[in-house]
Amino acid sequence: PNSVDASITNGLEASYRRNINDYFAVSIPLRGGFYDIPNDINNRNFFSIDGILRGQLYSPTATFVPYVFGGIGYVVESGGPSSTQIPAGIGTDIKIGQFSYLNIQAEYRVSQEALRDNLVLGLGYSYKLGKTDIPDSDQDGIPDYEDACPQIAGTAEFNGCKDSDGDGVPDPQDTCPNQIGTVDSGGCPDND
């Protein structure tokens, strides 16, 4: 799209993003698509690469992660000039799975070339790969926010807690955690 006649065109983006911490992230988006230039009967194909710094309010358990961003990009255009653009905008990631997010974003791009300033509206999907930053202090595979015993490795069956004697009663509820007992007797042996 361009700022002169507000025509609408389409494109596709793939991006790598890395959180620096809960408040800042960097990303490198790659885009391809086409746009319409005033007084030109042909749509122009383009390819761009950007460097983006993102300010965000991230938490592993948050449903919404709002952010603002800015950066610099380089655009190669078929049949036209290559140019530098300055993107800036706002958006939010909406958590739809443990590592999956729906992304909604709006940005304005200022170009060094005439008639190339443009508004970009995006709807996307992102998935976290590699090491996650969801805390799991005891490394038992159950994140701390779901783990009833976050400092002692346990099992999913007992909500992250351990059953030392294997009697089916997790240690926090087991009156006799080192002796095999029954559920009815609070984890202690039933001697009668």
Distance separating the N- and C-terminal Cα atoms of the chain: 82
Backbone angles phi, psi at 173, to 5 degrees: -100, -5
Chain centre to alpha carbon of residue 167: 41
Rounded Cα gap, residues 173 and 154, in angstroms: 14
| Per-10-residue mean pLDDT, the chain, length 192 | 56 92 94 78 85 93 94 90 94 90 96 87 88 74 83 88 88 88 82 68
- What's the CA gap between 13 and 78, in Å, rounded? 18
Amino acid at 36: D
pLDDT at 5: 46
Helices (H), the chain: none
- Pick from 44, 49, 48, 35: which is nearest to 4 by CA? 35
CA distances 126 to 67, 99, 122, Å, are 15, 8, 12
pLDDT at 192: 64
* Nearby residues of 181 by Cβ (< 8 Å), 6 or more positions away: 165, 167, 169, 174, 175, 187, 188, 189, 190
What is the length of the chain?
192
